[in-house]
Structure 1
């Protein structure tokens, strides 16, 4: 019995050593990226190492389409930074940017006192449940913000900077009608012609509405022509008064 007691410390040591050998270990697989620098054009693997360590998220500037719901708000280049948990990219948007997008920034208690140049990288700090959703595949930045915080006058509108002059074209349409009536006092025949036409040329818009009617028996013929010429916000009305051939030009 005494001999067994002498070996007891040794047996305990062997048992502990065996447990240490079979204890599971947690470790990430690691690849020596410096191997890629050997005989290859890749001279510096630090960027690749950061890319892998940051969940394949790379901070920087990206050309993106900014959307709120189904509406395209803007298209611009936005700088993104990595979130603290390295799970997403956050856009460096300012209070002024969000106002331009239609967010009612001046009604938010935690945002109204900020300077217009203040960055709002994490919108959830100001609006509960709000977030930026950046899709790297299609370069889309979605504003996931409740509609109650959106300026409804801007909802569904298209930013004027995306307007263009449209395609140059010419078009015309007409309507013709006629009638003939007979009574004890005589016969009355009338004919009416209406012509609508227009020309789009660059920023110019010319619209014409002409009518012509001929009534035999009761009233004389009455031709008339009205035209409108527009350039951006300027507008002129051209009117030809029958039977004169001159045109009168006046600001509408």
Structure 2
């Protein structure tokens, strides 16, 4: 714990401090900063479905988190390659008691904790998306290998029908549709749910379920998610 004329710092080793700053005779400010390294910004906040810069994406998420807690505000600044996310809330001196102070402090800390949860979830989503991309690329290479093999075989063999290429396993994949244009996918039929990935146009899919304008699809690697059903057309 440290303090100056207008600041009180509460900190533990390895943890960013909680800072109580005196604004004036009537109010103070409780603040807590979260550092996001440049490595994390590049690898977790530059997803294919992000339209903003990494820092802008962090700022948007932090603002959304802060809006869930009374009086809490969020801001993000850069520090070299890193981003610093600051959650803060005012404390009014008039009528202040221990419970009111602790509630404000708890709101600031819970906002920071929720950001940590979001960071972990983004890492999981990007790992799943990378697996989907790798599987799709493997399938593309396999199809290209078959096409190249037919081209080398000559016209007689090239005219022979091919057995459908699909994944092995207990569940048979039966593509019925394809993606008309680049489609974002979600874990649930709700745009506020976790993002599952992005499906490129022309990808063959199997429609498993429909709910209103939502459509749950399955790709050849058994990956499934919900997309806008208007972007799914019969193949």
- Shorter-normalised TM-score: what interval? under 0.3
Larger Rg: 1
Structure number with greater CO (CA < 8 Å, separation at least 6) is: 2
- TM-score normalised by length of structure 2: 0.24
Greater helix content: 2
Greater strand content: 1
